[in-house]
Chains A and B, each alone.
Chain A
Amino acid sequence: MNHWIVAPIVLPAILAPFSIMVLRYHLDLQRIFSVAGVVALLGIALTITAQASGGDIQVYELGDWPAPFGIVMVLDRMSAMMVLLTALLALPIVLYAIASGWDDRGKHFHALFHFQLMGVCGAFLTGDAFNLFVFFEVLLIASYGLMTHGGGAVRLKAGVQYVAYNLLGSTLFLFALGTIYGVTGTLNMADIATRVAEIPAEDTALLRVGAVLLLLVFCIKAAVLPLHFWLPASYANAPMPVAALFAIMTKVGAYSILRMFTLAFGPDVAATEGLAGEWLQPAALVTLAVGTIGILGSKHIARMVAFCAIASMGTLLIAISQFTPDATAAALYYVFHSTLATALLFLVADLVMARRGGAIAPTPPMPQSGLVSALFFVGAIAMAGMPPLSGFIGKLLVLDASRDASDATMVWAVILISSFVTIIGLARAGTLIFWKSHDTQAVPIEMPAENEAAPEPVAPEPQPGLAFTAVFGAVAGLILLTLFAGPALEYTSQTAEQLFAPENYISAVLGGAE
């Protein structure tokens, strides 16, 4: 067995408790180990992506228990790619958190950060539905800590909503898994797929209920309308580097939809035929529309970026909900782009908020305004999907892939109009924040005299150079994704082919006992 498969889970799982128990009082050592851990994770992710790119599906049996009975980790192109994305995202964020001093504003930032990475990587690698639930809980419980990191009344109130919403989502996940287990008698994803195909058509009512419940749960994670209400308040009030890391969390929902609804409840399974696409497509269109309206209507930069995250999930799910290899390849490319772009904008939002506050209104000029506004400009171009950055290629691919869909006109109209409105919204925010800063006489700013809710004093970062390096790292990721769009697209097309041939996955998992 290839032990590299389990390494992305084991490494943070060791590092996080080590950081709590041994390095508890040594922030410097925590930082060193944390960065080293993320770099090592990146190395592991590159290794397993290289291994998976050959097209073999590799299975890791925990405790050497054969597949339907024990828990398996499965490495295929999609899971390797998502782990790589997680590691690539984590590196600039951890550097930024150190440079901006965010990790010093509460306890155990680095431990929680690595627990979060463990949960995310585990969710991408697992081949067992209940284990997926467990990894969801791992990443959620770490995210509760990260979201309320640093404290403050408003952040804690937003935290309560976030935890309550996700607790309800977890309960729904358990109901879904219980229903599916009750019908199929198994929780191994590959085994569910074989059983679902064997169930006679008249006995599938309960199975369809289970599948829809599962879809609902993943839609909560992916912040699909009308289940997106948790996202704006929690992302906007979380510490910004954490919100940048959370950009991968909505993608865990999208990944799970793609995994379960190509493997077990795929488009050619009679019992659940067209179930996911039929419901998901309209929801995704509305998600994109509402996200875009939110961008236009936000009064705070963090909230605006949160709505950007919702809008990009809308675009992503429009592509996913078609369930064709072309659209899936486009979606996988767009996942990479939108995660990096969202994270970049959140980090830029933090640069802005640390210097002048986050309100989208004219204020006196801030230090390093030129550099920060240039970064905002890059992030906005990427997010809106304008050339030359990868957002343009991603949206073009999505549009191209949906050309043959039944409601192509609708899809094209929504994507194009919302891109236009996004450009307007981001341009408006950029203008008010960066350009209007010189004629502030017109609008007197009210300084909150004793605002106890203001969580952090406005202080320049201890190491602004490193902070900018981290943000430029995210920019570099986007540029590389644009330059190497060809190889990246080839990889995602192969990934999509692999996803739409689930029999290979099933035989790798269930036949891999020797």
Chain B
Amino acid sequence: MEALVASAVGILTAAGIFLILRRRTFPVILGLSLITYAVNVFLFATGRLALNAPPVLNKYKDVAYTDPLPQALVLTAIVISFGMTAVIVMISLSAYLSSKDDHIDMTAQDSVDAAGEDA
């Protein structure tokens, strides 16, 4: 169980970092999504891994329970990363449509434009 979760976090992060280092915006956004998945699984595991245990205390009998706080944190993290991904998709789309170019780096031409934009 631990090995499975740990390797899932590791592989997702590695794949995410590989994709973030690409030159075009689409793989970069995919890479960012993969890393946010990795961090969600990681946050989930910070409350210790427990099987078949609800995140609520049972006051009638003594049963196993799991820490509810990481689940709340993951929920917040999912909402935020979902919103942020939507924002970056929109900004990169408009950047692509206005410059006809989906490279994430600023090209030499961009720098020229920026330096001389209103010279």
Contacts and interface: CB of A to CB of B under 8 A. Distances in A.
A171 B84 CA distance: 11
Contact of A168 (B20, B76, B106): B20
B118 A137 contact: no
Instruction: Count chain A CB atoms within 10 A of each CB in B29, B43, B116 and give the residue with the most.
Output: B116
Contact of A152 (B80, B98, B119): B98
B64 interface: no
Contacts of B36: 167, 171
Contact of A359 (B77, B110, B115): B115
Nearest to A186: B69
Given A178-B46, A358-B118, A160 B92 contact: yes
A235 to B, nearest CB: 12
A130 interface: yes
A359 B20 CA distance: 32
B14 interface: no
Contact of B99 (A141, A156, A174, A447): A156
Interface residues of A, number: 52
Contact of A353 (B70, B73, B113, B118): B118
A451 B91 contact: no
A300 B91 contact: no
Contacts of B87: 141, 144, 163
Nearest to A174: B39
A447 B80 contact: no
A164 B105 CA distance: 11
Interface string A168-188: 101100110111011000010
A157 interface: yes
A157 B99 contact: yes
Contacts of B15: none
A168 B70 contact: no
A459 to B, nearest CB: 11
Nearest to B72: A130
B104 interface: yes
Contacts of B104: 160-161, 164
Contact of A130 (B32, B73, B95, B114): B73
A144 B80 CA distance: 14
Given A161-B106, A168-B20, A154 B25 contact: no
Interface string A48-89: 000000000000000000000000000000000000000000
A445 B119 contact: yes
A151 interface: yes
Instruction: Count chain A CB atoms within 10 A of each CB in B29, B39, B91 and give the residue with the most.
Output: B91
Given A158-B106, A168-B20, A179 B46 contact: yes
A462 B94 CA distance: 29
B91 A156 contact: yes
Contacts of A134: 76, 80
A167 B98 contact: no
A426 interface: no
B5 interface: no
Contact of A181 (B46, B81, B84): B46
Nearest to A157: B95
Nearest to B36: A171
A182 B42 CA distance: 10
Given A168-B20, A446-B116, A175 B39 contact: yes
B95 A153 contact: yes
A357 B106 CA distance: 20
B35 to A, nearest CB: 5
A477 to B, nearest CB: 28
Given A137-B80, A153-B99, A178 B118 contact: no
Contacts of B106: 154, 157-158, 161, 233
Contacts of B32: 164, 167-168, 171
A161 to B, nearest CB: 6
A358 B118 CA distance: 7
B26 to A, nearest CB: 11
A178 B43 contact: yes
A142 B53 CA distance: 39
Contacts of B73: 130, 177-178, 181
Given A151-B98, A156-B95, A160-B91, A137 B35 contact: no
Contact of A144 (B35, B91, B105, B115): B91
A453 B113 contact: yes
A361 B118 CA distance: 12
Contacts of A156: 91, 94-95, 98-99
A363 interface: yes
B39 A148 contact: no
Nearest to B94: A156
Contacts of B47: 181-182
A446 B46 contact: no
Given A164-B88, A300-B114, A359-B116, A153 B98 contact: yes
Given A174-B39, A178-B45, A300-B114, 20 more contacts: A141-B83, A154-B117, A160-B25, A160-B91, A161-B106, A164-B28, A167-B36, A167-B84, A168-B32, A168-B35, A170-B81, A174-B43, A178-B70, A182-B45, A233-B106, A359-B115, A363-B119, A453-B99, A453-B110, A453-B113
**A-B residue pairs, 7 tightest by C-beta:** A156-B95, A357-B118, A153-B99, A453-B113, A182-B46, A359-B119, A153-B98
15 contacts: A141-B84, A154-B110, A154-B113, A156-B95, A163-B87, A163-B88, A167-B88, A177-B43, A178-B46, A182-B45, A233-B106, A300-B114, A446-B116, A451-B117, A456-B118
